[in-house]
Amino acid sequence: MRAGKLRHRITIQRPSFVQDPMTGEMVKTWVDAWVSVPSDVDPVSVTQFVAAAAPQNKVTARVVIRYRAGVDGTMRILHRGKVYDIQGVLPDTESGLDYLTMPCSEGVNDG
């Protein structure tokens, strides 16, 4: 993939848990892991990916970024006011260290 294709900017967030001082309950919050990441965000149909996830997951976008260690399926992506859950992280087929492709779903759960 050419670098010029990475024309969108996304924020990748990771979950963080903080304790509510009143109840003691652990509450999930989201913190920025990487901000303004160059990416290619494309809407896709579910038939473009093999669906191995639970039936309620619906792949709605494919996000491609340069390789970053630590990106995983517990994270989420923010792009143009939308929140996308990462359904998986697929390394490129050449070296596995150039690009990551992430099938994402929009608005399925809290991500």
Burial class (CB in 10 A: 0-12, 13-18, 19+), 74: exposed
Residue 44 pLDDT = 82
pLDDT digits (tens, 9 = 90+) for 32-71: 999 999 999 998 865 555 554 445 557 789 999 999 999 9
Cα dihedral 102→44→111→89 (10° resolution): -10
Nearest to 13 by CA among 84, 63, 66: 84
Q: Read off the tokens for 98.
A: 């150039």
pTM above threshold 0.85: no
Residue 27 pLDDT = 92
Q: Please, what are the domains in the chain?
A: 3-106 (2.40.10.270)
